[in-house]
Structure 1
Amino acid sequence: MARRICLLSKLFLIDKVTLDDVHFFSFNALFEVDDEGFHFVGYFSKEWMSSSSCVNTLSCVMVLPPFRSKGYGSFLVRLSYEIARLEGMVGTPERPLSKSGNALFRKVWREEVLLAVFALSEQGSPVTLGELSKVSSLIVEDVLVALQDLNVLFSVGKQGPLLVVNASEKLELLKRRLAAEKLYWTSAPS
């Protein structure tokens, strides 16, 4: 089944490389359910064990054309980070990113970093790159990309950088947030 999903992906992803050894990857499929049954929407795959010092939270993400522009790509990326959080990991997607993958990830990174800023602020914890990385499950480099994209860092002379975010964005972000408490996840066998 996993091999077939990879072959299907090759039809829709220009940069997709099909591997013969799919047993090194977990595949997380998403289905849309209606009165007619279950409809395959897309998936993300992740390497079981990352060989590098950095954990890849996601290797490939694909949403079929009829289901695009419904937020499913963002949902799958958020799900990959939520699973990383449950497994106590900080990571990044496998590189290089395609043009559309880069846009998708940067959007999710911005949202994850803002949610982490709000969470740390509510706890009264210091908002550092390390803490943002830990709370968001993003590597520090991806946190920095998100902060630059958000344009929320300002220099304050000798005091160092100042982070300024609009609190009204929190409500909008919470509407799109993955309901982690409803996620039942068991990690891969060692």
Structure 2
Amino acid sequence: GLEQPKELSIFEINGSEAKVYCQCLCLLAKLFLDHKTLYYDVDPFLFYVLCEVGADGAHRIAGYFSKEKASVENNNIACILVLPQHQRKGYSKLLIDTAYQLSLREGKVGSPEKPLSDLGLLSFRSYWTQVLLQTLSMHRGNVSVAEMSMMTSITTDDIISTLQSLNLIKYWKGQHVISVSAKIVDEHLKANSRASLRCDPTKLTWQPPSTQIE
């Protein structure tokens, strides 16, 4: 079987400082993503590259995501790719969680760039479901959509659509109200209990840039 990596590392790469490397990443992604259109104009983007670290110390790329340095729409992911041989290892959710940890550090809410592919929507919906159920469980359901957004950096629109898919939210007197018991949350958590890799915020060596990155 495949050798399990000793550890995983994620590196931030500035598209305007490592232009050729980032263009090559985009061209690599084009092989696997039909909708991928960006290959050459990488300057406005940051790239977060996930590597498996082997016993020999070599860092081998497993996937990446990119995000705009200054997104008017607060998109925290522009493109995400996990290479085929590294799929089904939980790396998509790890990359998604990293994007949201960065948004939390920035004090912003974020959402992936639209439109999402069917597979992309499944990955994000699965991530949002796990995070929101854990948040509801922690607060025993006594939490508002706005509070959940502040705690998770997930937009209110993404929270509402996810909770609607789980039948955990109602529209009452002109506003969305979370309607849930602790028992129902626990039942949903059991149904969505697959362990997933997460970005450990204590190991995230990153601060938001004080000025806009060139």
With the length of structure 2 as denominator, give the TM-score of the two structures.
0.76
Distance change in 2, residues 1:140/1:156 (3 Å): closer
Higher helix share: 1
What residue in structure 2 maps to residue 149 of structure 1?
Answer: 165
Q: How does 1:119-158 map to 2 (within 5 A)?
A: 119=138, 121=139, 126-153=142-169
Q: How does 1:17-166 map to 2 (within 5 A)?
A: 17-36=37-56, 37-51=58-72, 54-119=73-138, 121=139, 126-153=142-169, 161-164=178-181, 165-166=185-186
Query: Partner amino acid for 1:186?
Result: Q
Specify which structure has the bigger relative contact order, considering alpha-carbon pairs within 8 angstroms and separated by 6 or more residues.
Answer: 2
Structure 1 regions of 5+ residues with no counterpart?
none
Query: Partner amino acid for 2:101?
Result: E
Q: CA deviation at 1:184?
A: 1.4
Aligned equivalents of 2:118 and 2:75: distance in 1?
A: 18
Structure 2 regions of 5+ residues with no counterpart?
1-20
1:6 equivalent to 2:17? Answer no
What residue in structure 2 maps to residue 183 of structure 1?
Answer: 204
With the length of structure 1 as denominator, give the TM-score of the two structures.
0.85
The answer to whether the 8 A contact 1:73-1:104 is kept is yes
Q: CA deviation at 1:78?
A: 0.8
RMSD: 2.6
Aligned equivalents of 1:161 and 1:43: distance in 2?
A: 34
Deviations 1:31-78 (A, max 9, x none): 011224221001000000012xx3001100001000001000111001
- Report the identity percentage: 33
